[in-house]
Amino acid sequence: MEKHLTHTDGQGKARMVDVGEKAPQKRMAEASGMIRMSRETLRAIRENLVQKGDVLTVAQIAGIQAAKATSSLIPLCHSLTLDHVSLDFELEEAGVSARCRVRSQGRTGVEMEALSGVTVALLTIYDMCKAIDKALVLDGIRLVKKEKEDIT
């Protein structure tokens, strides 16, 4: 069974999907990823010793900002009003894992917003730590979950 690509017209040219006829729904998406780093870098983050500042706070703000700005970054994404964006970090043995959760009520999903949020948060950690760790690696960025439910 061949899937029809909704972001192309009959001639295969890119187009923005028309969601105007769809009923608004409650939408949620969650994305996760990790940045692998040395133990020394992890310790510097944990103890707030990175010269550029509080790495996780700056990354959290950057990720939330990125989720809100996704339609400016991804050409065919719809501009959405987001009800909530959360970005949480966990310090693990191999590095820092991040999880971004986005909620909205609208006619299209918020997967790209969650993915943008987690990716930019991890890129921010990369940027703030690259001077002290030359072997940083972003890993496993993926959509974990998405849900939608009718508004009653």
Residue 115 falls within a domain, yes or no? yes
CATH of the domain at 70: 3.30.70.640
Q: For residue 15, is it within any domain?
A: no
Residue 59 is assigned to a structural domain of this protein: yes
In a domain, 2, yes or no: no
139 is catalytic: no
Degrees (nearest 5) of the Cα angle 43, 44, 47?
80
Residue 14 lies in a domain: no
Instruction: Choose, from 83, 88, 127, 139, the residue flagged as catalytic.
Output: 127
In a domain, 4, yes or no: no
Number of domains in the chain: 1
Tell me whether residue 11 is in a domain: no
Distance CA 105, CA 110 (A): 10
Full domain range(s) for residue 113: 25-150
pLDDT at 6: 66
Q: What local confidence, expressed as pLDDT, does residue 20 receive?
A: 64
pLDDT in tens, 53-76: 999 999 999 999 999 999 999 988
Could you tell me the pTM of the whole model? 0.89
**94: Cβ contacts below 8 Å, ≥ 6 apart:** 34, 36, 37
In a domain, 20, yes or no: no
Burial of 26 (0-12, 13-18, 19+ CB in 10 A): middle
Angle between the N-to-C axes of helices 111-129 and 55-68, in degrees from 0 to 180, rounded to the nearest 10: 150
pLDDT digits (tens, 9 = 90+) for 77-89: 888 899 999 999 9
- DSSP letters for 59-91: HHHHHHHHHHTHHHHSTTPPP--EEEEEEEEEE
Q: What mean pLDDT comes out for the span 12-34?
A: 82
Q: Is residue 95 helix, strand or coil?
A: strand
